[in-house]
Structure 1
Amino acid sequence: MRMQWWRGLGANARNGLQVALGVAGVQLGVGLAAGAQAGLLAAGGAVCVSLLDVPNTPARARRRLLPAVPVAVGVTALLAAVRLLPAGLAQSLALVLAVGAIGGLGQLALAWGARGGALAFAGVLAAVFALSGPAPAWWGQGLVEAAWVGLGGVLGVAWSLACARFSQTHWQRLALADALAATAQVLRVRAPLFSGQLSPGPQGLQVALQTDAAWAAALQTARDLLYGLDPERASAAQQRWLQGLIALSGLRELLLASRVDVELLGHDALGLAWRAELARTLGRMAEALERLADVTRQDGPVPEFSAELWRHDLAGRLAQATPASLPGAGPLPLDVRRPLLDSMQVRLGDLLDDTAALADALAGRPGARVSLRDWPPEALSAFQSPEGWAPAALRRHLHLDSPVARHAARAAVSYAGALALALGLGLLVPWAQHPQWLMLSVAVVLRGNLAQTLARRNDRLVGTVLGCALVALLAAWGQPWAWQLAFFVGVGVAHANVNTAYRRTAAAATVLALVQAHLLQPDQGLPLAERLVDTLLGAGLAWAACYLWPHWERRGLPQRLRQASSLLLAQCQAVLHGQLDPAGQRAQRLCRHQLQAVLDELVASGLRSRAEPRYAQLPQAELQSMLLHAHRATALLGAVQQLRHRRGAQLDPERAQALLAQTVAQAEALLAWPAPGAPDPEPPASLPDAGLTLWPRHEASPDLTPWLQRRLQLLTLELQWLAQALWRLRQP
C-alpha cells in the first residue's frame, strides 16, 4: 500500500520524477566528492542526457541516449576554447559563429525525427550552461569543465538505463492501457457517425482523422515498448500484454472497415432507429474497452465478456425497430434494406467477438485467438519506430531542397543573430547580462514550421510570466534550501510535460534558468525583467525566422502524395492478392500501418498549412477530398480482407479470384504515378453509380461472392475519385 502512489503515476510523471532524482543524485554525489562547481557542471551534463530520456526499453534507450554525452562535452569544450580568447570584438564574433554552428549542425539531427530534435536541443542546452558560468582562466580548466560535464552525462545515461529496466513493466502496462483507452475514444467518435448525428462529410472526417491520429500514436507507443519482447524470456504478464496488443491491432483493422455502407441504411425514422442501435452497441464496446484500460492500468483482474450475450441483445433491439413501431416512410422498404442491416449486424458481431477475445488474451484464458508463434519478434519489430542514428538518414537531407537543411540554416542564422543582439544589448543596458537566454528563447520557440512556432511562441510567453511569478514568490519566502529543491523540481516538471503541456515546461524552464543564475552568482539579484524581455525578443526573432528561406508545406506535398499512392497500391495488392496465412496477415497489417502513417502526416500537414501565408497554403478542399476517398478505399479494403479471412469458404473460388485480379489491375492503372518529366495524364472520368447504392439480395443463398463483387466495385469507384483528387493536387 505504501507504493500505490508510485504505481499510480502516469508514464510521463514517473519519467519526470526519475529524471529529477537522477539529476539531483548526480549533482549531490559529484558535489560532495569534488565540490559544488563540479556538481553543477555534472548536473548540466545529466540534464542534457535527460532530454532524450523517454519511457523506453533498455536496449532502445541505450541507443537513444549515448550520443548526447559527446554532444554535451564537445559543445562545452568548444565554447570554453572560444571564451579563452581575449575579451573584445574578436571573442564576441567567435562566440556568435560558434553558436550559429552549434544551432545549424544540431538541427540537422532532425533527419532522424523527433529524437534528433531532442539531441539538437541537448547541444543548445549545453551551450547555455557553458555560457552561464564564468569563463575558464586557462585551457586546462576548460578541459576539466568538459570532463565534469561528460561524467555527469555518463552517470545520467547509467541512471536512465537503470530506471528503464526498473520501470519497464510499468511503462508497458501503462502504454497498453492508454492504447485501450484511445480505442474506446475512437469508438465513441464513430458512434455519432453510425447514428447519423455527425455528417460523414468534411466535418465528420476531420473529427475522425484527429481521433485516429491520437489512436495511432497511442498504439505506436505501446508497440515500441512491447513488440521488442522475446516471448521466451518475457514474464507471464508481459506475454499476456503482448497478446492483448496484437489482438487490439487486429480489432483496429476490423473497426476501420466497420463504417462501410452505414449511410445507406437511410435517414428516415426506421433507418435512424437501426443506426442508433448500432451506435449504442459501439458505445457498449467502448465501455468494455475503458474497463479493460482501467484494470490494465491498475493491474487488476480482467473481466470476462460474452460476445453471445452482446449479439443477442443487439438482435433483440434491432428486431424491436419495425415500420409498425416507427412513424414516417423510408426511402426503401424494409425487405430491401434488411440484407444490408444483416450484413452490418454480422460485422458488428465480429467486433464484439474480437473485443471478448481481447479480454481473454489479457486475462491469459485458454483458447485465446492470438498465438505468439504466428508473430515472431522479427515480424513484430517491423512495426516499431526506428531507433538509432543511421548515417543514411542524414545523407538524404544534405541538399538545399530538404526541409531539414533549410530549417538548419534558419536555426544557424537566428541563433547567431540572437546572441549577437544580446551581446550588443549587454553593452548598452546594465541589466542584459545573460546573452545565452535570448538565444535559448529563439531555440525553444523556432520549430520546423510556422504553425508549431506560433503555438510555441504563445506557450513560451505565458509560461515565462508564470515562471517569473513563481521565482518572485520563492525569493519572498527566502529559505536557502528551497532554491536547490526548486531546481530539481523544475527539472522534473519540465521533462514530464515537454510533449504534452509545453506551457508548464516553459514555466519550469524559467524557474530553472533563474534559480541556476542565482545559485551561480547569488550576489547579483534576480534578473526577472531580463528574462521577460529576452523571452519577448526571442519569440519575435523566432517568428520572423520562419519567413527566412521557408519550406512551406506545399513543397513537401508531391512526395507525400506519391508515398500515399504507392502505399495504397501496395495495400490493394496485399489484401487482394495476399495469402490468408499468418505471414500474409502480417504483410497486410504492415502495409496498412505504413499507409496510415503517411495519411496521418498529410492530415497534420494540412492543419499546419493553415497558419502559413495564403499564397503558400495547401488547397484544403482538394486535400480533404483526397483524404476522404483514401480512407473510404482503405475501409473497403478492410471489409474485403475480413470477408476473405473470416468467410472465405462462402466465396466461389474461381469467380472470386477473377474479380480480385481484375480489381488489382484497375488499381495499378489508377494509382500509377507519372514518371519524372512525363506529362501528367488526365484521370479517367468517374463511372456513374450503376446500382452500387443497392446491394445483393440473396437471403437464401450462402454464396457471398455478390457481396465481394459489390465491395470491389465500390473500391474501384473510390479509387477513381481518389485518382481525380490526386491529379488536382498535382496541378501547379
Structure 2
Amino acid sequence: MHYTLAPRTFLFSHYFYTGLRIATGIVGLAYLTYFIAGLPSAMAVAIGALCTSLMDLPSPLRHKFNEMLAGVLFCSLVALVVGLCSPVPWLLRSVIVLVSFLASMMVVYGRKAMPLQFVALFVMMLSSEEAATPLQALHQGALFFLGGAGYMAYAMVVVWILQRRLKQQVLAEALYELAAYTSTKAGCYDMAQPLSAQMEKLVRQQSTLAERQQASRDLILRGRPAKDEEVLVQVHYAMFDLYELVLATHTDYVLLRQHFAGASVLPLLGDLIGKAARDIESVAYAMTRGRPSQRTVDYDAELRTLAATLRALPPGEGEAAEAQAVLRATSNKIRETIAMIARLHAAGQAPQGALPMLAGADLTPFLTQQRYSLGILLANLRWTSPTFRYALRVAMAISVGLVSSEWLPWQTHGYWIALTIAVVLKPSFSITRQRRADRLVGTLIGCLLTAVILRFVHAPAILFGFLFVATAAGPTFLYVKYRYTAIAASMQALLLIGLTVPHGAGAIGERLLDTLLGTLIATFFSYVLPSWEYQDLPRLVDEVLEANRKYVDDGAALLLGAVADDFHYRVSRKRFMDSLATLSGALGRMLDEPADKRRAPRELNRFTVQNYLLVAHMAALRLLLRRYAENMPRAEVEAMLRNGFAAVRASLGAAPQAVDSALDKAARQDPAWPGWGPLRRRLRMLRQDAAQVALASAAIGQALGRPAGTQAAKDDASLLGR
C-alpha cells in the first residue's frame, strides 16, 4: 500500500496538504466572488482558479511561479480566443482542432507540462459550450484571468510560508520509498519467493525511489538553506549514504540460497532487514510531523542469534567456505546498515557541524532543469516524433467527440465527452488503458454518491462543504490513485451543476453516458497513429549502456584514487540509475500493450536486473575497501583493480584470467591482508554480471532487429569498452 493511502500517514503527506491548499484557494475565491458579484461570476472565477491549481505541484518556488504563470497566461488566452470564435461554428471547430493539437504538443516538455495540456483543453471545452458576444467573451476571459491570478498569488504566498514544511514532507516521502526498497530486499531471503521475480520487483521499486529522491534533491539542494533547514540537508545526505549502503548490501543471494536453504539463518537475515525497513520508516514518520526521530526498533535479539549462528558454522571447504564467508560479510553489512540508520536518526535531531556539501560544488547536475525553449517544440513538428503523432491523435479524437455530441438524442454537455477523451487518451497506450478503467469506475461511483447527496441535501452551504471535500480529494490522489481522483472530479462537476441548476438531476445520467462515449472514442483513437514502446527501446538501451560506461569509468577513478572526492561518481551513478529507471518504465508500459507489440521482455528484464547488480557491485567495492583499509597493500590492490576494470571494459576476453593471476600474485606477496578473498569474489561477480549485461544486450539487439555492424550492435558486443 502506498504510504499516502494508510490512515496513519495520510493526513501528514504533502499530497493531503496540496489538496487542502487547493480546495481552500478555489472554494475561498469562489465564495468571496459570490458575495461580491453573484454566483455566475463566482463560477467563472472558480474555473480559473481550478485550472491554475492543476499546475500547483511540489516544486522549487521559482519553478512553481513559472509553471503557474504559464498556465494563467496560456489558458486565459485560450478562453478569450475560443470565446471570441464561438459565434462562428466553422471558425470555432478550426480553433478547437488547432488548440487541441498545440496543447497536446506541450507534453514534449515532460511530465510537468502534462497538466498544462489538460487545463488548456478543459478551458477550451468550457469556453466553446455556448456562443458568446465579443463583450461576453472578454468578460468571461477577464474573470477567468482574475481567478487564475488570484489563485496563483494565494498559492505562492502559502507555499512560501510553508516551504520548510513542504521540504519535510517530500524528504519524508523519499525515506518512505527507501524503506519500501529495503523491505523488498528482505524478500530476497524468503525461499518462498522466486529470486528472479523479487529482483524485478526490486528494480521497479528502485525506479520509484529514484523519482522521489530527485524530488527531494530539487527542493532541498536548490539555493542556500535557511538556518532552520540545515537539519533537512543533514538528513538528505544521510539518506543517500544509507541508500548506497543498502544498495551495496545483499548481492550474493544465489550462493546463500544454495547453501543455506532450509536453515534458520536466511529468515533471520530477512527479519533483520525487515526491521531496518521499519526503522527507516520511523524516521520518515517523525519527519512528516516535524519531530526529531527516536529509535524504537530493537535489533539485539536477532543480532545475538546471528552471531551465535556464525560461531556454530562448521569448517567448510571450496564453495561451502565461500558461502560462509559471504554470510559473514552479509552480517557485517547488516550491522553497518543498522549503524547508518542510527546516524540517520541523529541527523534529524539537530544540525551537526558543517553541512555535508563540497565547498563551491556545482550541484546543477543533480537538479532538474526547466527547459521550455521554442526550439524543442519546433524540433518535434515532424511525422516521426511520438509527440507530434499524439497531438494529431488527440485533435482528431476531440473533433470526433464534439461532432458526435451534436447527434446524441439526449441534451448533452459536449465538453464532457471531450474532457473524457482528454483525460483518458495519453501518449502511452498503457496509461490510456489504466485511465480508461479508472475513469469509468470513478465516474460511476462519483455519480452515485452525488445522486445521493443531491437527493437529501439542498442547502447551498452544505453543498459547498461537499464541493470543498471533492475539490480537495481530486489533487490529493491525482498521482497516487487516479480512480479516487475520478470519483472526486465527477462529484465536483455535478455539485457545481447542482448549485447553479437546482433541478439538473438529469445531468448525472448524461454524465455517465457521455463518459462511456468519450471512453470508447479514446480507446479507438489509442490505436490511431500509435507510438509503441518497443520503437523507442533501442535508444533507451543505448543510453543505459552509455551511462553504464561513464559510471564504471568514474567509479574506477574514485577507487583508484585518481580523484579527490566522489562528486563525479555520484553524478554518474544518478544518471545511470535515471537511464535504468527510464528503461524499466518503458518495459512496464510495453507489457500493458497488445501482445503483438511486445519485444524481448525477458531479455529486457534480464538486462535491467544485471545492470542494477553491476551498480550494486561497484558500491560494494567501495565498502569493501573501506572495511579492509587497515594495512591494505595499496599498490598491489590498485594494480589488481586496474586489471579488473580493464577486464570489464574489454568485455571479458582473456582479461579475467589475467586478473585472477594478478590477484594470486599479489596475495602471495602480502598474504596477511584479509581483504584478498572478498576482493577476489567481488571482482569476479562484477565481471560475471558485466558479461551477463553484454549477453542480454546482444539478445535485445537480435530481438529488436538491429542489423549487425551498426554502431549500436558494436556497442552491445563490446559492452563497456571504448
CA offset digits 1:311-331 (Å, max 9, x no partner): 96376343354349xxxxx89
Inter-CA distance 722–163: structure 2 relative to 1 (3 Å threshold): same
Cα displacement (A) at 1:549: 0.8
Residue in structure 1 matched with residue 366 of structure 2 by the alignment? 383
Match of 2:32 among 29, 32, 36: 29
Q: Equivalents in 2 of 1:70, 1:84: separation in Å? A: 23
Q: Does 1:154 align with 2:149?
A: yes
1:350 aligns to 2:329 (yes or no) = no
* Unmatched 5+ stretches in structure 2: 1-7, 706-722
2:466 is matched by which residue type in structure 1? A
* 1:103 corresponding residue in structure 2: 100
Checking the alignment, whether the CA contact within 8 Å between 1:191 and 1:280 is kept in structure 2 is yes
Out of 387, 392, 412, the position equivalent to 1:404 is 387
- Rate the CA distance shift 1:150–1:333 in 2: closer, same or farther, 3 A: closer
Aligned residue type for 2:394: A
Q: Distance in 2 between matches of 1:348 and 1:148?
A: 60
| Aligned match of 1:514 | 494
The equivalent position to 2:417 in structure 1, one of 438, 456, 470, is 438
Report the more deviating stretch, 618-627 or 292-301: 292-301
Corresponding position: 1:495 with 2:489: no
Q: Does 1:417 align with 2:400?
A: yes
Residue 438 to residue 117, structure 1, CA distance change in 2 (3 Å):
same
Whether the 8 Å contact between 1:262 and 1:275 is mirrored in structure 2 is: no
Which residue identity lines up with residue 496 of structure 1 in the other structure?
T
Task: Tell me if structure 2 keeps the 8 A contact 1:19–1:50.
Answer: yes
**Structure 2 partner of 1:676:** none
Decide whether the 8 Å contact of 2:80 with 2:137 is kept in 1. yes
Query: Corresponding residue for 1:135?
Result: 131
Amino acid across the alignment from 1:68: G
Q: 1:332: Cα distance to partner?
A: 5.5
Residue identity matched to 2:343: A
Q: CA deviation at 1:128?
A: 2.9
Paired residue for 1:258? 249
Contact 1:311 1:352 in 2 (8 A): no
Structure 1 residues 284 and 435, CA, compared in 2 at 3 Å: closer, same or farther? closer
Q: Give the corresponding residue for 2:616.
A: 635
Partner SS, residue 549 of structure 1: coil
1:704-715 equivalences in 2 (<5 Å): 704-705=675-676, 707-715=678-686
**Structure 2: which amino acid aligns with 1:9?**
F
What displacement does 1:65 show? 1.3
Partner residue in 1 for 2:439: 460
> Once the 2 structures are TM-superposed, how far is the Cα of residue 219 of structure 1 from its aligned partner?
2.3
Displacement after TM superposition at 1:291 (Å): 2.4
TM-score with structure 2 length normalisation? Answer: 0.88
Q: CA deviation at 1:432?
A: 3.1
Change (3 A) 1:7 1:402: closer
Whole-angstrom CA distance in 1 between matches of 2:567 and 2:512: 54
Moved more, 474-483 or 407-416: 474-483
CA–CA distance in structure 1, aligned partners of residues 250 and 303 of structure 2:
21
Query: In structure 1, what is the Cα distance between the partners aligned to 2:384 and 2:42?
Result: 44
In structure 2, give the amino acid aligned to 1:461. Answer: L
Q: Please give the alpha-carbon distance, in whole angstroms, between the structure 2 residues aligned to 1:646 and 1:703.
A: 10
Q: 2:218 aligns with which of 212, 217, 224?
A: 224
Is the Cα contact below 8 Å between 2:610 and 2:693 reproduced in 1?
yes
Deviations 1:136-172 (A, max 9, x none): 2x31221121111111111111111112123222222
1:126 corresponds to 2:106? no
Query: Aligned letter for 1:318?
Result: T
The one-letter code matched in structure 1 to 2:700 is L
C-alpha displacement of 1:437: 0.8
CA distance in 2, matches of 1:110, 1:393: 11
Kept in 2, the 8 Å contact 1:406–1:550? The answer is: yes
Alignment-derived partner of residue 5 in structure 2: none
The Cα shift of 1:48 comes to 0.8
What's the offset of the Cα at 1:376?
Answer: 5.8
Q: What are the Cα deviations for residues 394-444 of structure 1, in whole angstroms up to 9, with x where unaligned?
A: 34533322222221111111111111111233xxx2x23311111011110
Shift in Å, 1:124:
1.2
Distance 2:192 2:113 in 1: 43
1:62 maps to which residue?
A: 65
Counterpart pick for 2:558 among 571, 578, 581: 578
* TM-score, length-scaled by structure 1: 0.86
Task: Give the paired residue count.
Answer: 691
Measure, in 1, the Cα distance between the counterparts of 2:198 and 2:667: 30
- Aligned counterpart, 1:611: 592
**Local SS of the residue matching 1:374:** coil
Letter in 2 for 1:223: R
> Is the counterpart of residue 716 in structure 1 residue 687 in structure 2?
yes
Alpha-carbon distance between aligned partners in 2 of 1:24 and 1:276, rounded to the nearest angstrom: 53
User: Are the aligned partners of 1:659 and 1:712 in contact in 2 as well (CA < 8 Å)?
Assistant: no
SS at match of 2:484: helix
Counterpart amino acid of residue 183 in structure 1 = L
Percent identity, please. Answer: 23
Query: How far 1:12 moved relative to its partner?
Result: 1.0
Q: 1:532 to 1:282 in 2, by over 3 A?
A: same
**CA contact 1:184–1:290 (8 Å) conserved in 2:** yes
Question: Following the alignment from structure 2 to structure 1, what is the Cα–Cα distance between the partners of residues 620 and 147?
Answer: 55
Q: Separation in 1 of the partners of 2:10 and 2:256?
A: 47
Aligned residue type for 1:567: A
Verify the 8 A CA contact 1:16 1:496 in the aligned structure 2.
Answer: yes
Q: Which moved more, 1:101-110 or 1:455-464?
A: 101-110
CA distance 1:391–1:665, shift in 2 (3 Å): farther
Letter in structure 2 aligned against 1:400: W
**SS in structure 2 opposite 1:67?**
helix
CA distance in 2 between partners of 1:709 and 1:234 (Å) = 47
Cα separation, partners in 2 of 1:161 and 1:320, compared to 1, 3 Å: same
For residue 293 of structure 2, what is the aligned residue in structure 1?
302
> Which range moves more in the overlay, 697-706 or 581-590?
697-706
After alignment, is 306-315 or 261-270 more displaced? 306-315
Shift of 1:260: 2.3
Specify whether residues 285 and 306 from structure 1 end up closer, same or farther in structure 2 by C-alpha distance, changes over 3 A only.
Answer: closer
CA distance in 2, matches of 1:484, 1:399: 47
Aligned partners of 1:609 and 1:617 also within 8 Å: yes
2-structure distance, mates of 1:684, 1:68: 56
Query: Is the CA contact 1:53–1:160 (under 8 Å) kept in the aligned structure 2?
Result: yes
| Aligned residues of 2:191 and 2:261 also touching (Cα < 8 A) | no
